[in-house]
């Protein structure tokens, strides 16, 4: 006798509501209060003065960040999106320059190139890691290619050895979007600190957060200075700044992080190792329980690196005839397990890339451009975000929901969803 599925009117496998992720505690409350009492909520000034680098909390965060990630410079930002824009500006991308990007990521990892008038060139991802595939990157390199933006997706690094050697051979900058992978390792290095510039996010969805925020890391002084200028009205600062490699044409923004956010972020950084450890423990349990389910492919971890499981990305291969990913996800949701189908749609299909602009040239921004990404998005990939310590007591029930659905595949194959459902 199998248990009746919740989608067919049976009891739910998960008996309580899954709590939302909260990493904020007394330490962060104390830090925010300290800043409020002191009354200085930002100490930046957009001129070449001692206020160019921001207030004490911003500088304390940057110092702690550099120490943790073992880099020479950390430049805080008000978001990772601002960080990506600053990084692309710092390496000097402009009209006519091509930057190889991933189509399977949050939109800013590619649109940051357009901000400066550069041309994003999409390469396909690896079907196991979901990060840019070095073989596909190689195919996209032309005489105009200036850089590669690698998205270290879901909690682990791409095949960086191959990517860095390609970059060296073709003299390309490498930027890592490490928004989803703070604290992951690649060989002896921290993810984000492997290449020319790494970018982290501190938005409220990420492993550690301060509401909105980001940090760029680099060990190249020239790039650090340019990012500081782009962060803070650089056009008004360069003339007075003693900067030998002077970028006369620099345009600055206001990408400055506030003191309260910086103080919170400094406390959050102290918790990163513990939060990642509990994510890894939960992933280990999920791996053990879910790896036996036919057609379900648990996250693969690349060689010589660690995974910090920002999300738990699974793939579904053909199981029973008539059963699609959508059917499985609907059945799991009915059991009380929240799932997301497909992650982001291939970025090149966004309206932004369908418009014509001077730099577009012969880029392929149409359906079929990156078949692996499209297959993952349309058919195979689904994920959940249950990797935080509060969920430990509910893990048994969550795993049981999967087992229950899998034990009932024949009954599920009879369920049909209308086209408009998916």
Write out the residues near ligand PLP by the rule CB under 6 A. Answer: 79-81, 105-106, 108-109, 151, 177, 179-180, 201, 203, 214
Burial class (CB in 10 A: 0-12, 13-18, 19+), 266: buried
Q: Residue 390 CA to chain centroid, in angstroms?
A: 22
We find the least distance from the C-beta atom of residue 317 to ligand PLP, in angstroms, to be 26
- Using the minimum distance from each CB to ligand PLP, give the nearer residue, 151 or 398: 151
- Using the minimum distance from each CB to ligand PLP, give the nearer residue, 299 or 336: 299
Q: What is the C-alpha end-to-end distance of the chain, expressed in Å?
A: 31
User: What does the block give as tokens for 419?
Assistant: 């086209």
Note whether 198 and 192 are within 8 A (CB).
Answer: yes
- Using the minimum distance from each CB to ligand PLP, give the nearer residue, 214 or 299: 214
**N residues, the chain:** 422
Q: For residue 75, what are the contacts with CB-CB under 8 A and spacing of at least 6?
A: 62, 83, 86, 215, 216, 217, 218, 224, 227, 228, 231
We find the least distance from the C-beta atom of residue 320 to ligand PLP, in angstroms, to be 34
We find the least distance from the C-beta atom of residue 109 to ligand PLP, in angstroms, to be 5
- Using the minimum distance from each CB to ligand PLP, give the nearer residue, 148 or 319: 148
We find the least distance from the C-beta atom of residue 1 to ligand PLP, in angstroms, to be 43
We find the least distance from the C-beta atom of residue 179 to ligand PLP, in angstroms, to be 3
Q: Cα dist. 140→15, 146, 150 in Å?
A: 49, 12, 14
We find the least distance from the C-beta atom of residue 181 to ligand PLP, in angstroms, to be 9
- Using the minimum distance from each CB to ligand PLP, give the nearer residue, 119 or 207: 207
DSSP letters for 231-264: HBTGGGTTTTS--SS--TT----B-PPPHHHHHH
Q: Cα dist. 180→21, 25, 365 in Å?
A: 15, 21, 25
User: What does the block give as tokens for 230?
Assistant: 């782009």
In terms of Cα–Cα distance, which of 329, 331, 335 is closest to 12? 335
Q: For residue 406, what are the contacts with CB-CB under 8 A and spacing of at least 6?
A: 293, 294, 296
- Using the minimum distance from each CB to ligand PLP, give the nearer residue, 175 or 409: 175
Note whether 195 and 91 are within 8 A (CB).
Answer: no
Position of tokens 């003339």?
239
Radius of gyration, CA atoms only, the chain: 23
- Using the minimum distance from each CB to ligand PLP, give the nearer residue, 123 or 151: 151
User: What does the block give as tokens for 201?
Assistant: 């996010």
We find the least distance from the C-beta atom of residue 385 to ligand PLP, in angstroms, to be 12
- Using the minimum distance from each CB to ligand PLP, give the nearer residue, 209 or 327: 209
We find the least distance from the C-beta atom of residue 204 to ligand PLP, in angstroms, to be 9
- Using the minimum distance from each CB to ligand PLP, give the nearer residue, 114 or 330: 114
We find the least distance from the C-beta atom of residue 8 to ligand PLP, in angstroms, to be 36
């Amino acid at each position: 006798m199998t248990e009746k599925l919740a989608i067919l009117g049976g009891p739910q496998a998960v008996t309580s509501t899954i709590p939302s992720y909260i990493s904020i505690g007394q330490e962060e409350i104390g830090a925010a209060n300290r800043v409020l009492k002191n009354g200085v909520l930002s100490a930046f000034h957009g001129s070449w003065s001692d206020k160019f680098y921001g207030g004490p909390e911003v500088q304390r965060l940057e110092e702690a960040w550099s120490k943790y990630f073992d880099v020479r410079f950390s430049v805080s930002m008000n978001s990772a999106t601002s960080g990506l824009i600053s990084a692309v500006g710092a390496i000097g991308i402009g009209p006519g320059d091509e930057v190889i990007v991933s189509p399977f990521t949050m939109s800013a990892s590619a649109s940051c190139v357009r901000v400066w008038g550069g041309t994003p060139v999409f390469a396909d991802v690896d079907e196991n890691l979901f990060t840019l595939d070095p073989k596909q990157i190689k195919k996209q390199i032309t005489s105009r290619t200036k850089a590669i933006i690698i998205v270290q997706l879901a909690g682990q690094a791409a095949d960086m050895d191959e990517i860095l050697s390609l970059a060296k051979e073709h003299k390309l900058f490498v930027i890592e979007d490490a928004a989803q992978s703070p604290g992951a390792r690649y060989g002896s290095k921290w993810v984000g600190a492997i290449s020319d510039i790494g970018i982290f996010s501190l938005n409220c969805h990420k492993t550690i957060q301060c509401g909105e925020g980001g940090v760029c890391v680099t060990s190249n002084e020239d790039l650090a200075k340019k990012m500081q200028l782009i962060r803070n009205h650089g056009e008004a600062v360069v003339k007075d700044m003693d900067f030998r490699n002077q970028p006369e044409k620099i345009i600055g923004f206001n990408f400055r992080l506030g003191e309260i956010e910086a103080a919170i972020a400094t406390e959050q950084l102290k918790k990163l190792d513990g939060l990642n450890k509990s994510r890894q423990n939960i992933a280990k349990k999920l791996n053990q329980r879910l790896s036996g389910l036919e057609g379900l492919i648990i996250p693969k971890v690349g060689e010589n690196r660690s995974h910090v499981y920002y999300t738990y990305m699974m793939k579904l291969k053909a199981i029973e005839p008539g059963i699609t990913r959508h059917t499985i996800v609907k059945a799991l949701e009915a059991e009380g397990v929240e799932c997301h189908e497909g992650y982001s749609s291939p970025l090149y299909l966004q309206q932004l890339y369908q418009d014509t602009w001077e730099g577009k040239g012969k880029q392929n921004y149409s359906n079929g451009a990156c078949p692996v990404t499209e297959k993952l998005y349309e058919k195979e990939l689904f994920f959940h975000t249950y990797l935080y310590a509060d969920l430990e007591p509910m893990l048994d029930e969550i795993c049981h929901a999967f087992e229950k659905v899998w034990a009932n595949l024949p009954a599920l194959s009879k369920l049909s969803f209308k086209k408009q459902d998916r």
